[in-house]
Amino acid sequence: MSVTKQRDALKLLERTGDFPWYVEKYIEHKKAKRSSPSTLLGYLRDFEYFFRWLMAESLTRAKTIKEIELHELNDLTKETVESYIIYLRESHLSERAVLLDRPTRSAKREYSDKTITRKISSLKSLFHYLSALSEDENGESYLSRNVMAKIELAEEEITPLARAHAIRSKILVDQEIHRFVDFVYHGYQAFCDTKRKLEYHNLNRERDTAIIALILSGGFRVSEIVNLNLSDIILEKNQLKMVRKGKKEDAPFFSDWGKEYLVNYLNMRDKYKPADGEEAVFLAVAPTKPYGHRIEVRTVQKLVKKYAKAFGIPHLSVHKLRHSFATQFLRINPDPHQLQAQLGHSKIETTMQYAHVLDDALSIAVNRTTQK
């Protein structure tokens, strides 16, 4: 198990204890189906938000989430659940305020339709388990009725072309890839408006540039980069050994261009003062820790957003760096099966979403049909 998954597994164990016994049973059920700890933590966040809403609306007698009884879920009406959906769509109550049980008002809507759909889907999964897949000592399901089965979610149909257009507007293309990496290393200093920010950037710019360049030169997932150990790097072959989704062992490649930034960082890695035997490639420092420790996924996500905002492309995320690589790869090497192997996709259909991103062939063909 990777370091990130170990950390998430420990956090999951800690968080599950805050929930009623039937949620713990659900989590055990999902574990048996090999759901990842990060996925299960996401479920718990969605359950917590719903349970706290029930408490705020006096729809339960419980004073804590753990005290919410099973029969209270069994007695929920369709109208109540629909009220929750309306609340998610129209309420100005922020999630942080609800989770802290300190309601405050803000002026903007908190959730997109996609996020709302995910939150309701999480509840549908829980209620389906409780009403159909669970079993008590008498062989009966925990719930006698499933109110969530009556809730319909509008499924947004999106074509490959529409998905490609959405990706295209939020990625780096051609020379933007190199300009962005160069900005991280050389240009961001101009945005450091305090001495402390400048010192922090100068400490981490080799690391940050290496992470971003490595993703852009190989299309790696952020978790794959964070979990890298020194022994996983095969510099002479430009390869990285890693365990991918589905626990698949793989050894994808990265470019010579990305290798330069990686080597530059490795030559300076000791300034993070790693402990003896520390194998993590990418390190971070903290005032409470005497040695450099493995960087966290959230830290990488935040640093990418920081640089992207300063660069002028605020929608760029760490996952969009992977999209950028995939799109550029197909533009230069039009072989989706090669890209599928590099990205570690199980299905070619997943890889093919990138085929239309920079493909103007359809536009040209349509234009030709109307030429005089």
Q: What does DSSP say about strands 248-250 and 242-244: parallel, antiparallel, or unpaired?
A: antiparallel
**Residue 247: partners with Cβ closer than 8 Å, 6 or more residues away:** none
345 catalytic residue (yes or no) = yes
Q: What angle do CA 120, 123, 126 make, to 5 degrees?
A: 155
Pairwise CA distance, residues 168 & 164, whole Å: 6
Pairwise CA distance, residues 352 & 249, whole Å: 23
The secondary structure of 186-218 as a DSSP string is IIGGGG--SHHHHHHHHHHHHHHHHHHHHHHTT
71 catalytic residue (yes or no) = no
Q: Determine the residue type at 58.
A: S
Pairwise CA distance, residues 125 & 130, whole Å: 9
Signed CA dihedral, 291, 292, 293, 296: sign only: positive
Contact, 109 vs 90, CB < 8 A? yes
Active-site entry in 150, 237, 245, 248:
245
293 catalytic residue (yes or no) = no
Pairwise CA distance, residues 211 & 215, whole Å: 6
Pairwise CA distance, residues 326 & 215, whole Å: 10
Pairwise CA distance, residues 145 & 143, whole Å: 6
Active-site entry in 354, 356, 368, 372:
354
**Residue 334: partners with Cβ closer than 8 Å, 6 or more residues away:** none
118 catalytic residue (yes or no) = no
Active-site entry in 201, 205, 269, 322:
322
Active-site entry in 201, 207, 221, 294:
221
322 catalytic residue (yes or no) = yes
Residue 350 C-alpha from the chain's centroid? 17
245 catalytic residue (yes or no) = yes
The set of catalytic residues is 221, 245, 319, 322, 345, 354
